[in-house]
């Protein structure tokens, strides 16, 4: 009953208005506003500041700077095994496994369309049909920068407008097509293991999604928008483990590879804790 009411409330709330208001609050630089907010959040979610480059929470200019804080250089050592597919973020596995019949498993009894997730273009989705996916959920206490699982050259970035439901386990189990209906940013990379998609999914109160090449992405169009394409003149190549984006307030990353490209670790499943830089699986071979 409690979960049903939680989902019903999200149907009724003005999701985008609340999220934009939260964004303004999160950018407030007034010390008597931002410091209590940061300290409340830190205590409420037991945020570990010992690994932060700046461990003093009140030293950050606003809440967003605190939330997207950098870590010390040695805080996230990378798995250097050849062919390792690194976790793009700290968090927990929501689901992972094969993409079957063009659909991605969300929760028991629920799945969503690959083509819809990537903005509705069948040609964009085709290389990932019968491939593999991993969905990583970032909780409020986690480090909220997103990094490259492997080295990749950017092919395309698409902003897909949508709803802003919460993305926790309750809504994943209770809201159809959750990750394919929420606002999201799709980044397609070419890698030595074939195409890779990183989908940064927005959520309730998420005040923004940023990439290192475009900054904050918040187009006002009501349809998917290709933000950039085919950097032939000035290609953007990011190394394995390099930052590619960040969430201003937390959400989810859906990672996609093509068929026969990767094998996930057998020990991983729904609820498994993951850490950025550690291996999620192994590439089968370079393509």
By annotation, the residues acting in catalysis are 90, 147, 251
Separation between Cα atoms, residue 93 and residue 73, nearest integer Å: 25
Question: How is 68-92 classified by DSSP, letter by letter?
Answer: TPPBPTTSSPPP-STTEEE-SSSEE
Separation between Cα atoms, residue 284 and residue 262, nearest integer Å: 5
Kindly report the backbone phi and psi dihedral angles of residue 196, in degrees, each rounded to the nearest multiple of 5, phi listed first: -135, 135
Over its C-alpha atoms, the chain yields an Rg (Å, rounded) of 18
**How far, in Å, are 134, 147, 151, 189, 266 from residue 235 at the CA level?**
26, 18, 13, 11, 35
Separation between Cα atoms, residue 39 and residue 6, nearest integer Å: 26
Question: In terms of DSSP H, where are the helices of the chain?
Answer: 2-12, 15-26, 31-44, 63-67, 114-117, 122-125, 169-174, 178-181
**How far, in Å, are 101, 217, 220 from residue 26 at the CA level?**
41, 16, 20
**How far, in Å, are 49, 55, 68, 143 from residue 52 at the CA level?**
5, 5, 10, 9
């Amino acid at each position: 009953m409690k979960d049903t009411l939680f989902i019903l409330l999200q149907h009724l709330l003005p999701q985008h208005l609340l999220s934009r208001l939260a964004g303004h609050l999160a950018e407030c630089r007034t010390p008597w506003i931002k410091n209590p907010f940061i300290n409340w959040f830190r205590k409420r979610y037991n945020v570990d500041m010992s690994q932060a480059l700046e461990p003093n929470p009140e030293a950050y200019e606003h809440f967003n700077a605190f939330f997207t804080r950098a870590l010390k250089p040695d805080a996230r050592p990378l798995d250097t095994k050849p062919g390792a597919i690194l976790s793009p973020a700290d968090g927990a596995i929501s689901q992972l496994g094969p993409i079957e019949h063009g659909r991605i498993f969300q929760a028991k009894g629920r799945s969503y369309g690959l083509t819809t997730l990537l903005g509705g273009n069948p040609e964009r989705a085709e290389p990932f049909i019968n491939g593999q996916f991993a969905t990583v959920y970032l909780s409020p206490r986690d480090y909220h920068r997103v990094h490259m699982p492997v080295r990749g050259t950017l092919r395309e970035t698409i902003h897909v407008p949508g709803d802003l439901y919460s993305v926790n386990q309750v809504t994943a189990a209770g809201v159809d097509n959750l990750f394919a209906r929420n606002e999201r940013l799709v980044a397609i990379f070419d890698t030595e293991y074939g195409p890779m998609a990183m989908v940064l999914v927005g959520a309730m109160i998420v005040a923004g999604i940023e990439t290192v090449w475009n900054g904050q992405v918040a187009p006002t169009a009501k349809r998917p928008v290709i933000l950039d394409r085919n950097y032939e003149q000035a290609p953007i190549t990011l190394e394995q483990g390099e930052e590619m984006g960040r969430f201003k307030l937390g959400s989810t990353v859906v990672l996609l590879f093509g068929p026969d490209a990767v094998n996930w670790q057998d020990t991983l499943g729904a609820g498994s804790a993951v850490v950025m830089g550690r291996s999620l699986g192994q590439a089968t071979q370079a393509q």
